[in-house]
Copies of this chain bind each other. A is one copy, B any other.
């Protein structure tokens, strides 16, 4: 365990002051090319590597790092969102670290992150707001896909009300009569209507609202969509329009439809939710209520920016998903 090579070593070896070394290393002005070259040569020879902690501590403008937390980056929804968010954060000069809470309790993870990053944003399950807030210990926390009510918590959520209303209206114009809904819930849990479920029911007529299948399967999975579609068509054969609560489920439904020989959109119109770019390559390409995209990521980054700057109170933003018409409906 040899001692680290510090700026001091370079200074001594090059016969200059520490300050001069700093100037050379950081490409600062007020130093002659000759000494800069010499310092650089020495530092290379000695294998000097500046400490980012020391430099950030001393420097007035510090590196900002934001943590992005989701269940799993294997889910295309999260990985596409990651890409969007990375664009937004790096445009602002921030560094983005990623974390999944697959195997670490959520609150514990947040507690750890509080001492490692400048802000935490992510999909944080159902955890109690107060608990989240105190785990964050003052580090700005931006909740995604849910609305924060507690003091000091930020959020970016979706407003499915107008989205489903518009979707239902436009689908009716295209001839939709009988809607069917495909939702999923984790195995062994008790079903609790989501905010989008409520928005959906407001948007379709009472009769249609009964044609609902809640599939007990890994949520957001193609399997859930496949199973659910089959059950839906068995129980409500007159259904001509199916809305799945995620694009992955819709893709599963699409596969089930192919297998049953049901033409999409000829016999049954199919709409997903999420806006995965993956949905563009199915056949037919998937019409979807898009959440993903620049607007979402920009809103998130914007909330983070406000929170980081300390100004602006807790923001609870909502964005209205937009209909992305492709081929399946």
Contacts and interface: CB of A to CB of B under 8 A. Distances in A.
Contact of A99 (B80, B90, B283): B90
A55 B98 contact: no
Count of this chain's copies in the oligomeric assembly: 2
A98 B86 contact: yes
A96 B115 CA distance: 15
A117 B62 CA distance: 14
A108 interface: no
Nearest to A68: B98
A44 B283 CA distance: 55
Contacts of A299: none
A97 B97 contact: yes
A45 to B, nearest CB: 11
Given A277-B74, A283-B255, A116 B52 contact: yes
Contacts of A95: 97, 116
B55 A56 contact: no
A57 B51 contact: yes
Contact of A83 (B55, B63, B74): B74
Given A65-B97, A281-B222, A53 B53 contact: yes
Given A74-B83, A281-B222, A62 B53 contact: yes
Contacts of A47: 138
Contacts of A63: 116
B62 A73 contact: no
Nearest to A109: B90
A72 interface: yes
Interface residues of A, number: 45
A79 interface: yes
Given A57-B53, A73-B83, A281-B222, A98 B96 contact: yes
A139 interface: yes
A50 interface: yes
A139 B48 CA distance: 10
Given A49-B138, A97-B97, A222-B281, 19 more contacts: A44-B138, A47-B138, A49-B137, A49-B139, A52-B117, A53-B54, A53-B56, A54-B57, A65-B97, A72-B83, A74-B83, A76-B76, A76-B79, A79-B83, A82-B82, A86-B98, A251-B281, A255-B281, A278-B278
Interface of A: 44, 47-57, 62-63, 65, 72-74, 76, 79-80, 82-83, 86, 90, 95-100, 115-117, 137-139, 222, 251, 255, 258, 277-278, 281, 283
Q: Which 8 A-B pairs have the closest CB atoms?
A: A79-B79, A73-B83, A53-B56, A53-B57, A97-B97, A74-B83, A49-B138, A53-B53
